[in-house]
Amino acid sequence: MDHFLYRDGSLHAEDVPLAEIAASVGTPFYVYSTATLTRHFRLFDEALAPMPHLVCYAMKAASNQAILKTLADLGAGMDVVSGGEYARAIAAGVPGERIVFSGVGKTRIEMHAALSAGIRQFNVESEPEMRALNEVAQSLGVKAPIAIRVNPDVDARTHAKIATGKSENKFGIPISRARAVYAEAATLPGLDVIGIDVHIGSQLTELAPYRTAFEKIAELTDALRADGHDIRRLDLGGGLGIPYTQDNQAPPLPLEYGNLIKEILGDKGCEIEIEPGRLVVGNAGLLVAQVIYVKSGEDRDFLILDAAMNDLLRPAMYDAHHDIVPVIQPAPGTERQPYDVVGPVCESGDTFAKARRLTPLAAGDLVGFRSAGAYGAVMASEYNSRPLIPEVLVNGDQFAVIRPRPSFDEMIKRDTLPPWL
């Protein structure tokens, strides 16, 4: 459920008409709903309520300061995967003890920064990384709290580019080698081994792969405890999917996911961490664009928008489907017609949808891309020298620009000329 609904014939974000935002900030832009963000975060928090837990929002999904602050004020922790994300989380007021640091390629500089300013835990993904972290921690005279990310070799049955839990993926250490790696970790004086971490992929639409992975984690918890490790935290990653269309079968709910965690891992006496990203923010955000032209091709009509693949990369990169809805509500029973929906970037991959059946649209009309809150703005680029588009946050009847659109000058001024030019 989200808070983007038609009222009086026009699409609103909560109580604000999207057309009003468009008139004020221009198009294209991203808009997020505070009520949806809050609701989705709470669903996870409540689903885990029976167990000691921390919901660490995977901020790679959307990392604007205003989004982070909204979630941090609700008690969220953060899952970060770079020094930049760590700095953003700290800047948004998230205390270090609520930040977990994931990712396969943490540098010594990133480790140093996080250990100095405070960190809840590093999710270590390889033996060389573990040894490097040990050295950095020792040089600072501290112990780095760690969980080791294991790769359970489970098929998440999602898009190949976002599956992470198979042995062919670069993530984690093979679960078969976990005991040996934990044994080495226990000998390293700069590390404090506190838990186990797993994340099998993103946009999962069924619980079965989670069940398989969690059962393996339950077994591993027992085995590691028998080996003498004080396993007190289980980080189960993120990945729960969202409905991208109104008609397909909805993925499992956070409550069902929470019940599964409780069923399989609830009696381990561990604090549970999860790292949801997409489900928190995906359906809390919309990309709003304007039709520039409707162009009749030989066998089809092209809807040419002012948004492009550089603004929303998911269709070009993953063949992802985003529902496209007109901002002015069509009269009931209006016939639909097929359009190829494209952007102005100079490549054919700049196609949002082929033969999408939409009610008739004309130049100047506004459309919204649904489910664009996650992996939308954060994956944008300035390809074709198109400045990053603004982000807007709505809260009830108020809205605020949370990232302004840079001018061409601001974009160009980031380049510097070498002395010989």
**Residues in 10-49 at the binding interface with ligand LLP, rule: CB under 6 A:** none
Does an H or E element contain 111, and which? helix 108-117
Query: How many residues interact with ligand LLP (rule CB under 6 A)?
Result: 20
Using the rule CB under 6 A, give the single segment among 226-234, 237-245, 287-295, 385-393 that binds ligand LLP.
237-245
Gap between the Cα atoms of 338 and 336, Å rounded: 7
**Beta-sheet strand order (sheet of 10-13):** 4-7, 10-13, 16-17
Here the tokens at position 320 are 């992802």
**Residues in 166-195 at the binding interface with ligand LLP, rule: CB under 6 A:** none
**Residues in 351-380 at the binding interface with ligand LLP, rule: CB under 6 A:** 374-375
The answer to whether the beta carbons of residues 377 and 391 sit under 8 Å apart is yes
Using the rule CB under 6 A, give the single segment among 3-11, 106-114, 226-234, 272-280 that binds ligand LLP.
272-280
- 3-class secondary structure, 255: helix
Question: Strand 121-124 to strand 99-101: parallel, antiparallel, or no bridges (unpaired)?
Answer: parallel
Question: Phi and psi at residue 160, in whole multiples of 5°?
Answer: -55, -35
Gap between the Cα atoms of 418 and 421, Å rounded: 6
Among 152, 258, 276, 285, binds ligand LLP (CB under 6 A): 276
Please identify which of the residues 346, 362, 417, 421 carries the catalytic annotation.
346
Among 53, 314, 322, 370, binds ligand LLP (CB under 6 A): 314
Which C-beta is closer to ligand LLP: that of 16 or that of 78? 78
The runs of H, that is alpha helices, within 196-242 are: 208-226
Among 61, 173, 220, 261, binds ligand LLP (CB under 6 A): 61
User: For residue 19, with 0-12 CB atoms within 10 Å meaning exposed, 13-18 middle and 19 or more buried, which class applies?
Assistant: middle
DSSP state letter for 201: B
Using the rule CB under 6 A, give the single segment among 25-33, 208-216, 265-273, 274-282 that binds ligand LLP.
274-282
Active site residue 346: yes
238 counts as binding ligand LLP under rule CB under 6 A: yes
Gap between the Cα atoms of 233 and 68, Å rounded: 24
277 counts as binding ligand LLP under rule CB under 6 A: yes
Instruction: Enumerate residues 6+ apart whose C-beta is below 8 A from 248.
Output: none
- 3-class secondary structure, 16: strand
Query: Binding string to ligand LLP for residues 190 to 229, with x set by CB under 6 A, is what?
Result: ---------x--xx--------------------------
Gap between the Cα atoms of 188 and 184, Å rounded: 7
Task: Of 150, 78, 76, 136, give the one whose Cα is nearest residue 106.
Answer: 136
Q: For tokens 């069902």, what's the residue?
A: 256
**Closest distance of CB 369 from ligand LLP, Å:** 13
278 counts as binding ligand LLP under rule CB under 6 A: yes
Among 79, 85, 153, 273, binds ligand LLP (CB under 6 A): 79
Query: Binding string to ligand LLP for residues 124 to 163, with x set by CB under 6 A, is what?
Result: --------------------------------------x-
**Closest distance of CB 1 from ligand LLP, Å:** 18
Gap between the Cα atoms of 397 and 373, Å rounded: 20
Using the rule CB under 6 A, give the single segment among 14-22, 34-42, 221-229, 269-277 that binds ligand LLP.
269-277
Which C-beta is closer to ligand LLP: that of 13 or that of 279? 279
List contacts with ligand LLP (CB under 6 A): 58, 61, 79, 102, 162, 199, 202-203, 237-239, 275-279, 314, 318, 374-375
Catalytic residue positions, numbered: 346
